[in-house]
Amino acid sequence: MSNIRAYRATSNWLCSILFLAFLSLNFNTVSAQDLEAGQKLFKQNCATCHRIDDKMSTGPGLAGIEERVPSKEWLYQWIKNNNALRESGDAYANKIFNDNKKSVMTQFQFLSNEDIDNILFYVKNPPPPPPGEEQVVETEVKEENPLLWLLILLVVFAIVVNVLIGVKRSLKNLLLEREGKDALPDVSHWEAFKDWVSNNQTKVVVICLILIMVGSKNGFHYLKDNVGVYEGYAPEQPIAFSHKIHAGQNGIDCVYCHHSAEKGKTSAIPSVNVCMNCHSSISEGKTTGEAEIAKIYEAAGYNPESREYDKPEKAIKWVKIHNLPDFVYFNHSQHVVVGEQECQTCHGEVQEFGYPMHQENDLTMGWCVDCHRETGVAMEGNEYYDKMHAELKEKYAAEGKTTFTVEDIGGLECAKCHY
């Protein structure tokens, strides 16, 4: 009987280890998802005014923010409604306001405490910086494949079950031998496994339910976050063009190359003639020498020695990076000219991106909706909005509201983007 008790104790111990392994997998997956959720929330709501380590002109770096503020509850209040906190006479709130040149921070009342916790988790655990300036800036949180871990756990589970079956069989044969009876006949592993399943139906049902729940949750998040989302997409281009050198170091305005961004629906890829405006005289690059600029000359049919266009032109087959679905309407001029938005709002700090160019934000519907909810409309001194501004101030006179977001002017109506 002591052998049977030992077997039962061993069986329960191994099952407990297996169950804790499943819980550990689920916990690690949640942590990875919290980090990914925090990264997306940071980019959607914070990155315009804040970086993690460096101070921007619009706001301080967020590294160590929890240690600098009075408490996390105070931080929740500040993020959701800093105006109310300052007006309550809070000394630290007013100190921050004065220290940052009295810049009014956007109120994020739609963020939950859990959302803010995810952002803080990302601030504490940012992805490592790229090792070289010519390398693509990684924008996705690297996480291990949960399905692979599930398969590994299934293999471990099968091994544990096989061991338990062997232990059980050995103990039974030992008892039969002491009683002078014949040992159990040899059976295949499959038959033994089916016998174990039939005798442990409750455990099998519990394990299957855990597998289904974990698999369903991970599958849902994978489909939600990856299908049709191309955040971090950085295709190889025919010419190693660096925005960091052109828009950053040389200070070339975005619309010099993407001239139609102020005039039409698309921003357009610049023609080779635009490149030649400068490179007819600049034949050597700072990082790539003459190799990449020679490709421009070949496309333009330009001979740098004779300084004449004496060859046939060829198309530069640039690979488009930012793609919206066909059922989405987006107009660059409406956002750039009327909305007075900077290119960086959607495309990130392009002037800091090396080669190859990548998609900074996910550009999903949720990302656009959040932007419309929090972005103030530049109505003051904008003739386009004069009439609308007067009507809105009259409509919200009782509330004393004088500034309005895109949501207030119908920016969340379905037909504005889908028709």
Per-residue pLDDT band at 2 (split at 50, 70, 90): very low
Greater confidence (26 vs 78) lies with 78
240-276: b (≥16 Cβ within 10 Å) or e: bbbbbbbbbeeeeebeebbbebeeeeebeebebeebb
pLDDT value at position 30? 45
Evaluate whether 275 touches 300 at the Cβ level (below 8 Å).
Answer: yes
pLDDT value of position 27: 46
Q: Which structure tokens are listed for 209?
A: 């339910």
Q: What is the pLDDT of residue 89?
A: 86
Average pLDDT over residues 252-270: 88
Contact 62, 68 (CB under 8 A): no
C-beta of residue 257 within 8 angstroms of C-beta of residue 270:
yes
What are the tens digits of pLDDT across the range 82-98? 888 888 888 888 888 78
pLDDT of residue 1: 44
Summarize the confidence of residues 62-81 as an average pLDDT. 84
Q: Which residues of 395-419 are buried (b: 16+ CB within 10 A; e: fewer)?
A: eeeeeeeeebbbbbbebeeeeebee
Comparing 66-75, 123-132, 392-401, the range with the smallest average pLDDT is 123-132
Average pLDDT of the chain is 78
Length of the chain: 419
Q: Residue 90 — left, alpha, or beta (φ > 0 → left; ψ -120 to 50 → alpha)?
A: beta
Contact 299, 316 (CB under 8 A): yes
Instruction: Give the residue with greater pLDDT, 221 vs 337.
Output: 337
pLDDT score recorded for residue 177: 81
Q: What is the pLDDT at residue 298? A: 92
Mean pLDDT of 254-280: 88
pLDDT in tens, 122-138: 888 776 654 444 443 34
Share of the chain above pLDDT 70, in %: 82
Contact 302, 276 (CB under 8 A): yes
Q: What is the mean pLDDT of residues 299-311?
A: 88
Give the lowest-confidence range in 7-16, 47-56, 252-261, 303-312: 7-16
pLDDT winner (highest mean) among 150-159, 324-333, 376-385: 324-333
Angle subtended by helix axes 72-87 and 113-124, to nearest 10 = 120
pTM, two decimals, is: 0.49
Contact 344/350 with Cβ under 8 angstroms?
yes
Q: How confident is the model at residue 297 (pLDDT cuts 50, 70, 90)?
A: very high
Which whole-number Å values give the CA distances from 344 to 37, 47, 341, 376, in the listed order?
A: 21, 10, 8, 16
Secondary structure element (H or E) that encloses residue 242, with its range: none
* pLDDT interval class at 296 (50, 70, 90): very high
State CA 295 to chain mean position distance.
Answer: 34
Distances (CA, A) of 248 to 50, 254, 352: 19, 10, 6
How far apart CA 22 and CA 26 sit, in angstroms, is 6
The CA-atom distances, in angstroms, between 234 and each of 231, 270, 315, 354, 387 are: 9, 18, 21, 11, 43
Model pLDDT for residues 201-210, shown as the tens digit of each residue: 888 888 889 8
Structure tokens at 289: 């020498």
